[in-house]
């Protein structure tokens, strides 16, 4: 009996030693990588859509790759496992659409292992030649979790058909839904789409971006940006507080028309200018704009507290600060503009439409709520001071925090090069456009005042 217990204890001890003293590499095989970058090329070619993918092999968790002596990857026996890993971890999670029809599962044209130092995926031609060419020498000593998996997927697509009326080839429009977020804790997907020779459209996403239209119609891009603008104004605390300060003294739609119009025109001008690279690209510019946005809220709140703001003065200030907020909108759209495709201007205008729809919704909720507050809770002047003081206190802390970030950047005067003078010419053109917009908006109060004048009755009265 005692001998049997000793044998059992020895077996348990051996199992514990085997578990805790196993090679560290085996334990790490199931760890989730913290950062994974996936590179992808997409190119239509005849009756196939070629998709080149590069992903770190260590992201293929719970998968045993053949090894040889000293734990090196056995390249002689790895081909079948690489193809199975490409199917299970990539092809099954990538949905590709031609127009609105999902394409069937792809065929794996090639799958091979590359070193982490390989730079073949800097261009499509080099990447394609690398993936379809000879692989690493079979005697290469490399661990499996220190390599990259390069795969060529071939999706069948319909051939180009000739239009009977125009005799021009129709072009399919492709979309992709890459659900690759399970590859790591933070997955960065870099996609380059080549619809025609010499044209490359780059996309960059974090996590699951949803359905991405690689070459959208103008109305598809417009509808997406209307939604983005609408949601942005509803979730942007800065812009909501600024709008709140505009509404507090003037709670009538007629009085708010020139103010909101001035703000809209101003931020539309700078948003479009920034999207077309007229704005400075220095590192200090975004924190400067964020600081100025907080400053605009503080100023508007203090002006409400002091009192005496007229409609004419308010719309002029709204126009000036609207220029600043337009740059803030552009920072939010910096990553999203990749969805615009070739419809940049239509997307920007659609974004502004969405912003205005959101503003109208906010105004429709703010004005009645403020009317009830001032009517039943507190007197007009006291309520204006209380609400504006709360907003000023919040925005003041924002301004100080953002100014602290801004001070960390060093401003350098630009060199007087040809690029500088070209940029200066763009800014002068922008100033002309701003002056024109300012003049057009200044006509609105005059027009409204003229409409309110009593009409002269020139009819004969006995």
Q: Which of 161, 210, 176 lies closest to 106, judged by CA?
A: 176
Residue with tokens 């992903």: 55
Two tokens, residue 426: 């763009």
Q: Which residues contact 411 (CB under 8 A, 6 or more apart)?
A: 282, 284
Two tokens, residue 335: 């990553």
| pLDDT value of residue 308 | 66
Would residue 70 be called left, alpha or beta, if left means φ above 0 and alpha means ψ between -120 and 50 degrees?
left
Q: Are 41 and 157 in contact (CB under 8 A)?
A: no
| pLDDT value of residue 431 | 64
Helix or strand run (H / E) with residue 393: helix 380-406
As a whole number of angstroms, the distance between CA 262 and CA 358 comes to 16
| pLDDT value of residue 413 | 61
As a whole number of angstroms, the distance between CA 132 and CA 109 comes to 8
Two tokens, residue 205: 């996403």
| pLDDT value of residue 7 | 46
Two tokens, residue 332: 């939010």
Q: Which residues contact 339 (CB under 8 A, 6 or more apart)?
A: 203, 212, 213, 216, 221, 224, 225, 347
Q: Are 273 and 388 in contact (CB under 8 A)?
A: no
Q: Are 216 and 130 in contact (CB under 8 A)?
A: no
| pLDDT value of residue 102 | 93
Q: Which residues contact 346 (CB under 8 A, 6 or more apart)?
A: 218, 221, 222, 340
Instruction: Look up residue 64 and give its DSSP letter.
Output: P
| pLDDT value of residue 50 | 94
Residue boundaries of the structural domains of the chain: 27-215, 221-452
DSSP codes, 273-294: HHHTT-S---TTHHHHHHHHHH
Global pTM reads 0.67
As a whole number of angstroms, the distance between CA 157 and CA 44 comes to 8
How would you list the strands of the sheet with 201-206, edge to edge?
A: 107-115, 147-156, 48-56, 35-45, 186-193, 201-206
Q: Which of 26, 113, 127, 116 lies closest to 76, judged by CA?
A: 113
Tens of pLDDT, residue by residue, the chain (462 residues): 445 545 444 444 444 444 344 444 443 445 788 899 999 999 998 889 999 999 999 998 877 888 888 888 888 888 899 999 999 999 999 999 998 899 999 999 999 999 999 999 999 999 999 999 988 888 889 998 899 999 999 999 887 543 333 334 446 789 999 999 999 999 999 999 998 888 888 888 888 888 888 888 888 888 888 988 898 888 888 888 988 888 888 877 777 877 888 888 888 888 887 777 777 777 888 898 899 999 999 998 998 888 766 777 787 888 888 888 888 888 877 777 777 777 888 888 898 899 889 988 988 888 888 888 887 777 778 888 888 999 999 999 999 999 999 888 876 665 566 665 566 565 566 566 656 665 665 665 566 556 655 544 444 444
DSSP codes, 346-386: HHHHHHHHHHHHHHHHHHHHHHHHHHHIIIIIS-HHHHHHH
| pLDDT value of residue 458 | 46
As a whole number of angstroms, the distance between CA 382 and CA 371 comes to 14
């Amino acid at each position: 009996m005692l001998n049997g217990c000793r044998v059992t204890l020895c077996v348990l001890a051996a199992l514990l030693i085997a578990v805790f003293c196993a090679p560290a590499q085996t334990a790490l095989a199931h760890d989730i990588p913290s950062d994974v970058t996936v590179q992808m090329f997409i190119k239509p070619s005849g009756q196939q859509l070629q998709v080149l993918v590069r992903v770190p092999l260590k992201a293929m968790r719970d998968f045993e790759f053949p090894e040889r002596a000293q734990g090196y990857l056995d390249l002689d026996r790895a081909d079948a496992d690489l193809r199975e890993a490409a199917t299970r971890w990539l092809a099954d999670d990538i949905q590709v659409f031609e127009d609105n029809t999902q394409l069937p599962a792809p065929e794996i044209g090639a799958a091979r292992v590359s070193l982490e130092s390989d730079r073949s995926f800097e261009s499509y031609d080099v990447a394609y030649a690398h993936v379809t060419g000879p692989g690493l020498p079979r005697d290469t000593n490399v661990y499996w979790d220190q390599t990259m998996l390069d795969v060529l997927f071939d999706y069948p697509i319909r051939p180009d058909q000739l239009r009977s009326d125009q005799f021009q080839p129709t072009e399919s429009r492709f979309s992709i839904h890459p659900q690759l977020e399970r590859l790591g804790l933070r997955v960065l997907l870099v996609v380059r789409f080549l619809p025609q020779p010499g044209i490359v459209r780059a996309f960059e996403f974090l996590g699951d971006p949803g359905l991405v239209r690689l070459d959208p119609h103008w109305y598809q891009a417009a509808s997406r940006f209307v939604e983005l603008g609408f949601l942005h104004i509803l979730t942007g605390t800065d812009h909501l507080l600024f709008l709140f300060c505009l509404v507090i003294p003037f709670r009538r739609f007629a009085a708010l028309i020139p103010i909101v119009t001035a703000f809209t025109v101003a931020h539309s001008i700078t948003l479009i200018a920034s999207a077309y690279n007229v704005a400075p690209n220095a590192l200090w510019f975004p924190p400067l704009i964020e600081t100025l946005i907080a400053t605009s809220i503080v100023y508007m709140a203090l002006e409400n507290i002091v009192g005496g703001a007229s409609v004419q003065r308010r719309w002029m200030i709204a126009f000036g600060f609207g220029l600043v907020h337009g740059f803030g909108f552009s920072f939010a759209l910096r990553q999203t503009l990749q969805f615009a495709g070739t419809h940049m201007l239509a997307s920007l205008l659609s974004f502004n439409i969405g912003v205005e729809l959101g503003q109208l919704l906010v105004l429709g909720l703010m004005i009645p709520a403020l009317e009830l507050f001032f009517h039943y809770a507190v007197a007009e002047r006291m309520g204006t001071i209380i609400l504006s003081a709360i907003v000023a206190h919040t925005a003041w802390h924002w301004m100080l925090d953002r100014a602290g970030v801004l001070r960390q950047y060093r401003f350098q005067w630009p060199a007087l090069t040809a690029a500088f003078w070209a940029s200066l010419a763009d800014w002068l053109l922008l100033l002309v456009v701003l002056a024109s917009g300012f003049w057009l908006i200044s006509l609105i109060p005059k027009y409204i005042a003229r409409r309110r004048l009593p009409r002269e009755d020139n009819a004969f009265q006995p």
